[in-house]
Structure 1
Amino acid sequence: MTGFTHQTGHLFQVDDAEIYVELAGSPTGAPLVLLHGGLGNMMDFNAILAHLPEQFRLIRIDFRGHGKSTLGNAPLTYHQYQTDVETVLDRLGITHYSVIGFSDGGITALRLAAAQPSRIRALITIGAHHQLASDDPVLGMYAAMTANRWRALFPDNVARYEATNPEPDFDRLVPAVVALWTEAAAYPGEAVHHITAPTLMVRGDQDHLCTRPHILALGELLPQADWFNLPGIGHDVLNEAPALCMAGIAPFLVQHCQ
């Protein structure tokens, strides 16, 4: 399957932002939405494309401010991400779909599945938690992130963002994302108990952002949840261990997403 390149997609106007979308796979296949993590973009999924079953219609979306989507002027929130995704899918005429969400994409996927449970055929979250307590140490990690620190950690990713985004402003984007991460009330929280779709929670065992207690707490609230733990892998399981990651995800997709 051809990788996503930010060259063949479409822009959808959603309020004051333009949301970038690329489609791939089988045009008549079951829709599968791919949602990336914070400060990433749709290309983060390219590592797993070779391992995805080919019968799906892939819809990959850059969150506002990320990849080739513009930031607009509204504050970044998980609710805004959810609204953007729902708007794009409505305009594409997609009423029912499955979703794979990584990190922020997984948190957004939980919101989507809780808000409109009848639309979601299957849900796969990767490194995603549904809530953070006010004293959770992860909040301190998020709050300490700055644009310059991210540049030092991921220079290639920042260079790609600056070359791709039509209105690049990384010094504005990072504080907006940090505010999203550190607003505890923005997470889906107890609303996840509305989720009815079969759910697979994927986590790298060395993930310091989505911890084992996070996943156990989420699983207690989901009636049809399975947990796929990858030993020795960190937060970015998509790129650290794509084949191993998809060894658990692909059978789940085939079983539940047709």
Structure 2
Amino acid sequence: MKTTGYILQDGGKIYYEMSGNPDGQPLLMMHGGLGCSDDMEVMMPWLSAAYLMLRIDFRGHGHSTLGDVPLSYAQYQKDVEAVLAHLNIHQYVVFGFSDGGTVGYRLAIVHPEQVQRLITLGAQWRLEKDDSSIEMLKGLTAEMWLQRYPDDVDKYNIYNPDPDFKRLVSQVKALWLDRSAAGYPYQSVEYIQCPTLVMHGENDFLFSLDEAVELYHHIPDCHFANIPLTAHAAHQEAPGLVGTMLNDFLLADLSGTDRFCD
């Protein structure tokens, strides 16, 4: 049975939905930029029914309104924290894709007593000034996104109470290019204490293998999986493989092991 709701936060309405076992361990699932919580649906058949699934639409995405504050990873984090407090959830595990994973790093750094395990997919943790993705991100337009992902934009226009896709794209671009303390965690990932699984699509054009491997070496209790024959959104290209790996990692007894997947 699914439960949905909104909270009011910093001028925006933040949407959440819960499903699964109401008495189970909360599994917070966070989508990528310009997506929505629906993007996680493809993995649900491979996840244990023992979990309480919590999905949140980031500010401006899906059913959540943009409000009047600038987007940043710090603001996403603040919104998620507000939803968790509203639902009285104090310990949880995290799966985050892309932007959702970046927020996951930030949550795990700031709340080591709350985040019990962290799984990320295609999630950047830094943006160097000469990063090869910068020029591509600077050139992104709402029209380009609409041409490439028309179904996603149609869904956004149906779901969102106050749709303005051009404004959303402009703010998301600024977030992706933000190298301030409100953005990527950079070296702070070294403070992540929970067991972490970093997943990387073999042909990911945004999150390089070199960056993923370097992250693996920065997080103390980190495990790594390279997902073959997939690109950035490996959970949608190979939902059975990613979903099963996610589920296995959450249920694994990691005591006495240094790495889950080398």
TM class, shorter-chain normalised?
A: over 0.9
Which of 37, 45, 60 pairs up with 1:50?
Answer: 45
Match for residue 139 of structure 2? Answer: 144
Q: Distance in 2 between matches of 1:239 and 1:256?
A: 27
List, as ranges, runs of 4+ consecutive aligned residues in structure 1 with deviation greater than 6 Å: none
Match for residue 57 of structure 2? Answer: 62
Structure 1 portions without partners, runs of 5+: none
Asked whether the equivalents of residues 44 and 243 of structure 2 are also in contact (C-alpha less than 8 Å), the reply is no
Which of 152, 158, 161 pairs up with 2:153?
Answer: 158
Q: Distance in 1 between matches of 2:72 and 2:209?
A: 25
Q: Distance in 2 between matches of 1:200 and 1:44?
A: 20
Q: Distance in 2 between matches of 1:72 and 1:243?
A: 36
Q: Structure 1 residues 141, 207: closer, same or farther in 2, change over 3 A?
A: same
Match for residue 235 of structure 2? Answer: 238
Q: Structure 1 residues 256, 174: closer, same or farther in 2, change over 3 A?
A: farther
Identity %: 41
Q: Distance in 2 between matches of 1:139 and 1:48?
A: 30
Match for residue 257 of structure 2? Answer: none
Secondary structure of 1:184's aligned partner: coil
Secondary structure of 1:68's aligned partner: coil
Asked whether the equivalents of residues 18 and 55 of structure 2 are also in contact (C-alpha less than 8 Å), the reply is yes
- The offset of 1:18, in angstroms, is 0.6
Which of 28, 35, 44 pairs up with 1:33?
Answer: 28
| TM-score w.r.t. length of structure 2 | 0.94
Asked whether the equivalents of residues 26 and 56 of structure 1 are also in contact (C-alpha less than 8 Å), the reply is yes
| TM-score w.r.t. length of structure 1 | 0.95
Q: Distance in 2 between matches of 1:243 and 1:252?
A: 14
Asked whether the equivalents of residues 129 and 218 of structure 1 are also in contact (C-alpha less than 8 Å), the reply is no
Matched positions, count:
252
Match for residue 78 of structure 1? Answer: 73
2:222 matches 1:209: no
User: What is the CA deviation profile of residues 150-190 of structure 1, one whole-angstrom value per residue up to 9, with x for unaligned ones?
Assistant: 00000000000001100000010000000000112211111
Q: Distance in 2 between matches of 1:157 and 1:212?
A: 27
- The offset of 1:138, in angstroms, is 1.1
Which of 64, 89, 94 pairs up with 1:94?
Answer: 89
Q: Distance in 2 between matches of 1:138 and 1:159?
A: 26
Q: Distance in 1 between matches of 2:128 and 2:226?
A: 23
Asked whether the equivalents of residues 207 and 233 of structure 1 are also in contact (C-alpha less than 8 Å), the reply is yes
- The offset of 1:256, in angstroms, is 6.3
- Superposed CA RMSD in Å reads 1.3
Which of 192, 195, 202 pairs up with 2:192?
Answer: 195
2:22 matches 1:13: no
Secondary structure of 1:70's aligned partner: coil
Secondary structure of 1:249's aligned partner: helix
Structure 2 portions without partners, runs of 5+: 255-262
Secondary structure of 1:47's aligned partner: helix
